[in-house]
Amino acid sequence: MPLAVTLAHAATSAGYTRDDPLVIAIGRAGRRPAHLARGCFPAGTSGVVACSTEPGRGGPTTGTQIYVASLAKQVVAACAALLVRDRMLDVEASVGQWVPTGDVRVRHLIHHTSGLPMELPLTGDRTSDGILAAIDGLEFPAGTRWSYSNAGYVVLAEVVSRTAGMPLADFARWRIFEPLGMADTRFWTGPGAGPPGAAPLDPAHPAPLSIGDGGLWSTAADLLRWADGLNTDRLGVTELVQTPGTLDDGTPLDYAWGMGVRTRLGRQAYQHGGSWADLRAMLVRVPEEGLDLVVLALADRTERRTALIDRLLQVLLS
């Protein structure tokens, strides 16, 4: 069965209709990338999709810039890894300047063992400064257990910025996006809700303007470039960022540097998702098979992407 037909069948089987704005991109070593892009951009606040009559705005493509939410974490972690490799940052360094309670270290932020909460109560200020100002304590002693923390990665982004001596957005562009040819990827802190020309999100739930927990806008094509850059170690930090963390007592974790470590049909896989209001994203790499998989779904408030990823991997790894 042609791959294009396989992708379309998998999307339909997972519950995506032809109108749902969806991009699937497949990268395989030694082969040209394959993709499925279909549907129309969302309109209004109810997730309803509607095809635009504006030229070039009918629906998403592999070159459409889309908010990718928590996929930003592996880029932020890679920025930290570059500084570690350059001996500018120590993973054992304290982050007490930003987290005044408890002995929180850089590695705790990287591996979600900091004790910082998933989210912080904010009154409309979804910037990094707003999140940093709202930190007032830990939910548990750092290093004692794993608990996913968006706030922790905002702190990590700030640590990277201070260490590098420049905004994280500039550092990422200089050390990651430009070397890997990711011309359509950027961190966005406003003042608008998103970069000019980017895919629209639910206007009632604009993307936050914080950096670290999210803040990244990219394309399916660029995310394949990012995945290939990690697979081929073009940044020189792949071994480090794929190394799972541990608790302070040595208990191993299945989370490395901004990416989960999983077994998929007997193969080691590195993956992470991203979610925000009506946006669902996922990036899965299976390096031993030379396989990379990107799913970007707009106007999606479900977890259909999980079924879609499972179906695609079943076919592609069989």
CATH number, residue 241: 3.40.710.10
- Can you name the residues that pair with 261 across neighbouring β-strands? 270
Q: Is the pLDDT of residue 93 over 80?
A: yes
Query: Residue 57: what pLDDT?
Result: 53
Confidence of residue 51 (pLDDT cuts 50, 70, 90): low
Mean pLDDT across the chain? 92
pLDDT tens per residue across span 135-183: 988 999 999 999 999 999 999 999 999 999 999 999 999 999 999 999 9
Residue 55 or 300, more confident: 300
Q: Record the pTM.
A: 0.94
Confidence of residue 63 (pLDDT cuts 50, 70, 90): very high
Average pLDDT over residues 71-76: 98
Confidence of residue 125 (pLDDT cuts 50, 70, 90): confident
Q: Is the pLDDT of residue 58 over 80?
A: no
Residue range of the domain that includes 285: 3-316
If one counts the domains in the chain, the total is 1
pLDDT tens per residue across span 241-297: 999 999 999 999 999 999 999 999 999 999 999 999 999 999 999 999 999 999 999
Average pLDDT over residues 116-131: 83
